[in-house]
Amino acid sequence: MGTAVTLVDDAPPDARQTRSATPAAKKRRGRRENLAGYLFMSPWIAGFLLLTAGPMVASLYFAFTDYNLFDSPKWIGFDNFTRMFDDPRWQKSVEVTAKYVVIGTPLKLLLALGVAMLLAQSRRGQALYRAAFYAPSLIGASVSIGFVWRTLFSDGAVVDRTQSLFGSHVGGWVGDPDWILYSLVALTVWQFGAPMVIFLAGLKQVPRELYEAAAMDGAGPFRRFWNITLPMISPVLFFNVLLETIHSFQIFGSAYVVSNSQCGPADATLVYTCYLYQQGFKNAQMGFASAMAWMLLLAVALVTAVLFWSQKKWVHYEEDAR
């Protein structure tokens, strides 16, 4: 007489339920999961639509209108854009901003890279040095630092007395149209902590074996830096160049505070965003200011596109070496 055998499903209840679920049930469960995801994302979605996307669409419409914040906007087409190129102060703002970007960004990145290379070496108190060099990046954009900076570079202040010791009698930089922009450059260079940390992370990823092999071949410090360090950290360098260039185009707070809200003297610190602010909120020319904002966006997009195009010639990724 044969023994009866009972087949028992050893799978856990959840697995049996999953196998037995119909396609309709799976579809309902997927909808519930998607709904839960959208509910968690709803604060961000609402903030994006109300605070970012909505104002952008509105400003794009205002850019083609004559709008003074008080009356209804009137459609004028491309008149705001053509008016820019006939406005000497707009041309001055473009010149000042370009000068600030071209001078300030490379100096900031050079200092950040130099300090990062020093901090990449093992030494006592390394964490303290890193924190000390990074601190200005946390507080440099504040209004209080702008007031302090204006005081340091005013007539008879620390900078004025220091340069007098070396025989230079330029006076306070804040009141001199030829020098006040360089005080803003000094302020942005002083805030080199953020790109320094990024450079430091990139330097830590360079294999030490490459330096040892180059040293055995007789390569000096400069050749090791040029042939090993720069190519290996070129993706990090590209990221910092892109990020700091965009930040430089957006300068406003420091220029506004250091110049005592005048963007001067003689429009010496009339950066693009400062003139945009004057047109939009002081002169109530919001239509013209919106057109300026979109022109700035196009300029930044063009510079970004050029940087991405140029990276093919000087940025080296690990995938390219394989």
pLDDT digits (tens, 9 = 90+) for 158-198: 888 888 887 777 788 888 899 999 999 999 999 999 999 99
Q: Which long-range contacts (CB under 8 A, 24 or more apart) does 57-64 make?
A: 59/290, 59/293, 59/294, 60/290, 60/294, 62/286, 62/287, 62/290, 63/287, 63/290, 63/291, 63/293, 63/294, 64/287, 64/291
**pLDDT 10s digits, 120-170:** 887 777 888 888 888 888 887 788 888 999 999 988 888 888 888 877 777
Q: How many other CB atoms sit within 10 Å of the CB of residue 140?
A: 19
pLDDT band at 19 (very low <50, low <70, confident <90, very high): low
Distance separating alpha carbons of residues 313 and 322, to the nearest angstrom: 17
Dihedral sign of CA atoms 168, 174, 180, 184 in order: positive
Question: Could you tell me if 303 and 283 are in contact, meaning their C-beta atoms sit under 8 angstroms apart?
Answer: no
Residues 234 and 163 sit within 8 Å (Cβ to Cβ): no
Using alpha carbons, select from 243, 266, 239 the residue that is nearest to residue 95. 266
Q: What CA–CA distances, in Å, run from 134 to 45, 125, 184, 253, 294? A: 33, 14, 19, 20, 33
The per-residue pLDDT for range 32-60, each reduced to its tens digit, is 888 888 899 999 999 999 999 999 999 99
Span 219-263, pLDDT tens digits: 888 898 899 999 999 999 999 999 999 999 999 999 999 988 889
- 183, 153 in Cβ contact below 8 A? yes
Residue indicated by tokens 């707009």: 90
